[in-house]
């Protein structure tokens, strides 16, 4: 696997690393899921022989334009809240099922769709009871068959040319309700997958380019929002039609062999480009460790998700080992394929930035994800929030990638990770247009970016899984969802501090109209955070749920009072009467009524670099923009602001920073002295119940000063 | 002396295989070992950095100190914070960067000091 890996890694006996931790089951073949690119076909080989580099480049741009147009079509046609704001993707695949052209959107959606396409090709195409024909329409949302979770739903269509299968088109996204016990799908209390709604592996739902009404009725009848579901499904079929027609037009213009061969050549070029970039980087082993505060059996428990990266020559191995075991007490269980696909969001957007995003980019990377564990879990468990675990892998990888890239020509991609402190509120009920709806708002797409090596992270920049998403317009949200938005704000001290600070999230504060509504929520990072800083920058803060019940907001508005609706002001000054509830993110469905407030934000990015190197003028800017408090300016950044003038006292700031540096030298201990005291400490037993062996979940009695040294 | 920039605050002196502070040049020890062994290390209550917000002791936008501590790593000479880790109390540290020094030297055309002497004039 590589000299470094062979010399330093040791995989544990009896555990699974290179494939999902479950076997073949209906609609699901883990062996197919774990495959890389399929072999080159004869048609592709003939086509590649006809192509110049210019031809390939032109085709790359053409296919990219097609999938981007499809993205616009899907977002414009759908009435699903999260699709409208960008939690979706569209793509074109080879006939063998490898994604070639991937739209800007949620990259991991597309990087998972290959599994079900390959399944249909292998198992259904020649099955006389199913078959595969021009005009077929397929649907799937089963997380075991290669999906994310039941709430992300996808549609696929084969593309035929003169009777020959030449490509596949896919589109899909976060639909919302899945018929689980919780409106909106996410069931924070689920322990098995049978509590997360319908699971549909690759299923033909239409023929001859038309949906079958009986199947549509079955699917729409399985969820709480049939009107939204059916409208969204039809919009996907329309989008697939666009993808198919545009691709066939290219075939008419260029010929089938150059297009099919060009699609393969694009994949090969991406792999070559990825390997060339890897060769520019320093070889070595890089490690990061993340932790989760999952709700397990009614109380929060600590779990661990470490990542080790072996970079050797033009290849890499991502090793996720020493993970906490499965607990079976909640839905925060990921799968091998979700971990792999999730990393595409970082790899495509940052690590391999500038390269054409497709399956070729991941071809030089080997993924070893220890299972059974919370990162690579078995089939019967609930997986609805497995993205919280795969995100920990991605954020660890983001830190490692930044450390690897810093000394390379690609330093521009160095930054602390985008916020992944998910606390997602799902609103359900009847909207102002008179139909049932259940989803989250675009504020999910407005979390904070991590601090960059040369600048601050952007505030409210996008969704963790899709930097290209949008927060949406509040007026539209008010019409489409059962609650309405009172305020959207950037809050104080809601990001990681550093030489370049992290970005703050958009915090949306909302209440219900006269019909009331239901709201459930899920997430973690309530007592800890998933948003690391980088190179000395501090983490973005934890992100618990904030609800204020029975406020006197409407009475005050009726009296004509001005009310400053900001989460920070509400929590620190408590100007509104009411019952202030700060709690863990994962909560079952509750009824809300007018005047109950819900505060919804997805956390701030970590900082970059030592806080004492932040330019005082930038600190003053943060203070003036209400991004930090005076206490942070003074105690964290060591910047003294004259309260009379509001200007920086330079001499006092210099003294203050010198004093902080002296304190560091005084309180910092040499390694041996530090370890003597540190290794005697341990978290409370109550939170380690599902962690595994302390401190190494798979290695009882581990007493080395550094984790992960298993040889 | 050939210094190779590795991170914002760390260089490697290739010939002698030593970690060095990028800001002041302080020596952090052998580059085949974790640089953290040459740093000053300080454990901090996270509430010193992430000030709690709101009325709850359990959930307040700060880290629960029973769950997580901040471990800061400083240059022993200039006190710059080279990095930090957020770890449960007592959890082993992270050997974050373990470079293939032989590959790095070959890439930069640096011959190890010992080998250079051996291959010198006799």
CB contact A574 to B (< 8 Å): yes
**Per-residue tokens: A504:** 């703050």
Measured from the Cβ of residue A344, the count of other Cβ atoms closer than 10 Å reads 28
In a shared domain, residues A635 and A561: no
Q: Can you spell out the DSSP letters for B11-60?
A: EEETTTTEEEETTT--EEEETTS-GGGGSEEEEE-GGGTS---SS-SS-S
Q: Which residues of B touch A538 (CB under 8 A)?
A: 49-50, 70, 84
Q: What is the pLDDT of residues A582-635, one digit of tens each?
A: 999 999 999 999 999 999 999 999 999 999 999 999 999 999 999 999 999 999
Class of residue A213 by CB neighbours under 10 A (exposed 0-12, middle 13-18, buried 19+): exposed
Question: d(Cα A313, Cα B103) in Å, to the nearest integer?
Answer: 9
Ordered by start, the domain boundaries in chain B are 3-118
Q: Nearest Cβ partner of A291 from B51, B61, B88? A: B88
What is the pLDDT, as a whole number, of residue B113? 54
Q: Residue B76's closest chain A neighbor by CA? A: A665
Q: Which helix (H) or strand (E) holds A296?
A: strand A284-296
In a shared domain, residues A635 and A603: no
A318 prior amide bond cis, ω within 30? no
Q: Is residue A648 part of a domain?
A: yes
Q: Which of A561, A582, A609 is the last residue of a domain?
A: A609
Question: d(Cα A507, Cα A531) in Å, to the nearest integer?
Answer: 17
Choose from B94, B101, B104, B110 for mutation: most chain A CBs within 10 A. Answer: B94
pLDDT surpassing 60 at residue B119: no
Q: Nearest Cβ partner of A528 from B36, B58, B68? A: B68
What is the pLDDT, as a whole number, of residue A513? 84
Which residue in the block uniquely carries the two structure tokens 């037993």?
A: A685
Q: Which of A585, A609, A633 is the last residue of a domain?
A: A609
CB contact A542 to B (< 8 Å): yes
Q: Which residues of A touch B68 (CB under 8 A)?
A: 291, 527-528
Question: d(Cα A146, Cα A75) in Å, to the nearest integer?
Answer: 24
Q: Is A668 helix (H, G, I), strand (E, B) or coil?
A: coil
Helix pair A226-254, A256-279: axis angle to 10 deg? 100
Q: Nearest Cβ partner of B41 from A635, A671, A681? A: A671
Residue from A361, A241, A266 nearest A62 by CA:
A266
Q: What is the pLDDT of residues A342-373, one digit of tens each?
A: 999 999 999 999 999 999 999 999 999 999 99
**Per-residue tokens: A261:** 């061969």
In a shared domain, residues A574 and A634: no
Q: Is residue A438 part of a domain?
A: yes
Which phi and psi angles does B35 have, rounded to 5°? Answer: -60, -20
pLDDT surpassing 90 at residue B114: no
In a shared domain, residues A460 and A510: yes
Min Cα separation B34/chain A (Å): 9
What is the pLDDT, as a whole number, of residue A88? 94
Q: Which residues of B touch A674 (CB under 8 A)?
A: 41-43
pLDDT surpassing 90 at residue A296: no
Q: Is residue A165 part of a domain?
A: yes
Asked if A580 lies within 8 A of B54 by C-beta distance, the reply is yes
pLDDT surpassing 80 at residue B23: yes
Q: Is residue A356 part of a domain?
A: no
Q: What is the 8-class DSSP label of residue A669?
A: B
Confidence of residue B112 (pLDDT cuts 50, 70, 90): low
Q: Residue A634's closest chain B neighbor by CA? A: B49
Question: d(Cα A492, Cα A567) in Å, to the nearest integer?
Answer: 9
Side-chain-side CA neighbours of A111 within 13 Å: the count stands at 28
What is the pLDDT, as a whole number, of residue A2? 87
pLDDT surpassing 90 at residue B115: no
Confidence of residue A298 (pLDDT cuts 50, 70, 90): confident
**Per-residue tokens: A295:** 């709700």
Choose from B60, B92, B96, B108 for mutation: most chain A CBs within 10 A. Answer: B92
Asked if A286 lies within 8 A of B107 by C-beta distance, the reply is no
What is the pLDDT, as a whole number, of residue A669? 98
A545-549 and A597-600 strand pairing = antiparallel
CB contact A695 to B (< 8 Å): yes
Four-CA torsion B86, B91, B92, B97, nearest 10 degrees: -20
**Per-residue tokens: B77:** 């000479």
Q: Is residue A330 part of a domain?
A: no
Measured from the Cβ of residue A627, the count of other Cβ atoms closer than 10 Å reads 22
Asked if A683 lies within 8 A of B90 by C-beta distance, the reply is yes
Question: d(Cα A235, Cα A74) in Å, to the nearest integer?
Answer: 6
pLDDT surpassing 70 at residue B39: yes
Confidence of residue B116 (pLDDT cuts 50, 70, 90): very low
In a shared domain, residues A520 and A579: yes
Q: Is A472 helix (H, G, I), strand (E, B) or coil?
A: coil
B66 alpha carbon, distance to own chain's centre: 25
In a shared domain, residues A70 and A194: yes
Are A310 and A367 a contacting pair, CB within 8 Å? no
Asked if B8 lies within 8 A of A453 by C-beta distance, the reply is yes
In a shared domain, residues A78 and A113: yes
Q: Which of A276, A296, A319 is the last residue of a domain?
A: A276
What is the pLDDT, as a whole number, of residue B118? 43
Give the 3-state secondary structure of A362-386.
Answer: HCCEEEEECECCCCCCCCCECCCCC
| Average pLDDT in chain B | 92
Min Cα separation A692/chain B (Å): 13
Q: Nearest Cβ partner of B97 from A284, A533, A707? A: A284
In a shared domain, residues A69 and A213: yes
Burial of A673-702, coded b for 16+ CB within 10 Å and e otherwise, reads ebbeebeeeebeeebbebbbebbbbbbeeb
Q: What is the pLDDT of residues A52-109, one digit of tens each?
A: 999 999 999 999 999 999 999 999 999 999 999 999 999 999 999 999 999 999 999 9
Q: Is residue A120 part of a domain?
A: yes
Give the 3-state secondary structure of A174-210.
Answer: ECCCCCCCCCCCCCCCCCEHHHCCCCCCCEEEEECCE
Nearest-5° Cα angle at A495, A456 to A695: 115
Are A323 and A375 a contacting pair, CB within 8 Å? yes
Question: d(Cα A167, Cα A263) in Å, to the nearest integer?
Answer: 9
**Per-residue tokens: A420:** 């992944």
For chain A, how many structural domains are there in total? 3
In a shared domain, residues A543 and A627: no
Asked if B91 lies within 8 A of A707 by C-beta distance, the reply is yes
Residues of the domain holding A649 = 614-667
């Amino acid at each position: 696997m590589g000299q470094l890996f062979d010399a330093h890694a040791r995989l544990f006996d009896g555990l699974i690393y290179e494939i999902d931790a479950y076997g073949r089951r209906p609609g699901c073949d883990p062996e197919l899921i774990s495959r890389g690119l399929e072999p080159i076909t004869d048609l592709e080989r003939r086509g590649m022989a006809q192509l110049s580099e210019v031809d390939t480049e032109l085709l790359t741009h053409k296919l990219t334009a097609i999938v981007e147009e499809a993205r616009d079509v899907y977002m414009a046609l759908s009435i699903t809240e999260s699709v409208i704001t960008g939690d979706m993707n569209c793509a074109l695949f080879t006939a063998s099922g490898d994604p070639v052209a991937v739209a800007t959107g949620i990259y991991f959606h597309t990087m998972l769709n290959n599994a079900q396409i390959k399944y249909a090709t292998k198992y259904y195409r020649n099955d006389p009871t199913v078959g595969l024909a021009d005009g077929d329409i397929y649907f799937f949302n089963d997380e075991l068959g290669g999906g994310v979770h039941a709430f992300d739903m996808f549609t696929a269509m084969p593309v035929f040319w003169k009777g020959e299968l030449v490509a596949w088109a896919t589109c899909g996204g976060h639909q919302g309700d899945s018929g689980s016990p919780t409106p909106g799908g996410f069931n924070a209390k689920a322990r098995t997958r049978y509590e997360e709604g319908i699971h549909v592996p690759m299923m033909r739902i239409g023929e001859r380019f038309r949906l079958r009404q009986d199947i549509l009725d079955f699917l729409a009848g399985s969820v709480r929002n049939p009107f939204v579901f059916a409208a969204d499904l039809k919009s996907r079929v329309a989008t697939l039609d666009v993808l198919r027609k545009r691709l066939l037009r290219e075939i008419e213009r260029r010929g089938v062999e150059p297009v099919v061969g060009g699609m393969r050549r694009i994949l090969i070029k991406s792999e070559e480009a990825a390997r060339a970039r890897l060769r520019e980087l320093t070889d070595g082993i890089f490690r990061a460790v993340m932790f989760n505060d999952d709700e397990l059996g009614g109380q929060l428990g600590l779990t661990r998700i470490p990542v080790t990266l072996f970079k050797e020559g033009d290849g890499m191995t991502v090793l996720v080992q020493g993970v906490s075991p499965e607990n079976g007490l909640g839905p925060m269980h990921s799968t091998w394929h979700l971990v792999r696909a999730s990393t595409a969001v970082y790899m495509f957007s940052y690590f391999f930035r500038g390269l054409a995003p497709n399956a070729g980019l991941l071809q030089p990377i080997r993924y070893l994800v220890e299972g059974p564990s919370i990162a690579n879990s078995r089939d019967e468990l609930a997986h609805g929030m497995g993205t919280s675990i795969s995100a920990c892998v991605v954020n660890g990888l983001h830190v490692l990638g930044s450390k690897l890239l810093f000394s390379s020509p690609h330093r521009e991609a160095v930054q602390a990770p985008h916020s992944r402190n998910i606390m997602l509120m799902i609103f359900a009920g009847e909207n102002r247009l008179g139909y049932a709806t259940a989803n989250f708002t675009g504020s999910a797409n407005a979390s904070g970016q991590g601090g960059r090596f040369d600048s601050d992270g952007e505030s409210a920049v996008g969704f963790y899984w899709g930097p290209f998403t949008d927060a949406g317009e509040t007026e539209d949200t008010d019409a489409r969802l059962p609650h309405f938005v009172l305020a959207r704000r950037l809050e104080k001290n809601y990001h990681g501090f550093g030489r370049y600070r992290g970005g703050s999230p958009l915090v949306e504060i909302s209440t219900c109209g006269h019909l009331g509504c239901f709201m459930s929520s899920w997430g973690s990072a309530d007592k800890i955070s998933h948003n690391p800083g980088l190179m000395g920058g501090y983490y973005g803060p934890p992100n618990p749920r904030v609800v204020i019940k029975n406020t006197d907001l409407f009475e005050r508005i009726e009296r004509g009072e001005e009310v400053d609706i900001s989460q920070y002001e509400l929590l620190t000054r408590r100007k509104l009467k009411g019952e202030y509830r700060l709690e863990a993110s994962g909560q079952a469905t509750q009824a809300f009524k007018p005047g109950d407030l819900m505060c919804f934000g997805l956390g701030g990015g970590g900082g970059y670099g030592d806080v004492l190197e932040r330019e005082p003028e930038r600190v003053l800017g943060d203070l003036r923009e209400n991004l930090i408090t005076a206490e942070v300016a003074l105690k964290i950044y060591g910047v003294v602001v004259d309260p009379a003038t509001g200007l920086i006292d330079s001499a006092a700031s210099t003294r203050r920073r010198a004093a902080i540096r002296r304190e560091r030298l005084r309180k910092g201990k040499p390694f041996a002295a530090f370890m003597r005291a540190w290794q005697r400490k341990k978290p409370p037993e109550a939170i380690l119940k599902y962690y595994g062996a302390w401190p190494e979940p798979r290695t009882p009695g581990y007493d080395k000063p550094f984790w992960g040294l298993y040889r | 002396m050939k210094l190779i920039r590795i991170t914002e605050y760390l260089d490697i002196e290739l010939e002698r295989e030593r970690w060095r502070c990028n800001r002041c040049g302080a020596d952090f020890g052998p580059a085949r070992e974790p640089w953290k062994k040459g740093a000053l290390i300080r454990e901090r209550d996270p509430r010193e950095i992430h000030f709690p917000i709101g009325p709850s002791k359990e959930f307040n936008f700060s880290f629960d100190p029973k769950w997580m501590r901040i471990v800061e790593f400083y240059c022993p000479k200039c006190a710059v914070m080279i990095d930090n880790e957020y770890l449960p109390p007592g959890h082993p540290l992270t050997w974050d960067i373990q470079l293939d020094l032989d590959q790095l030297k070959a890439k930069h055309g640096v011959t190890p000091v010992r080998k250079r002497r051996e291959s010198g004039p006799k």
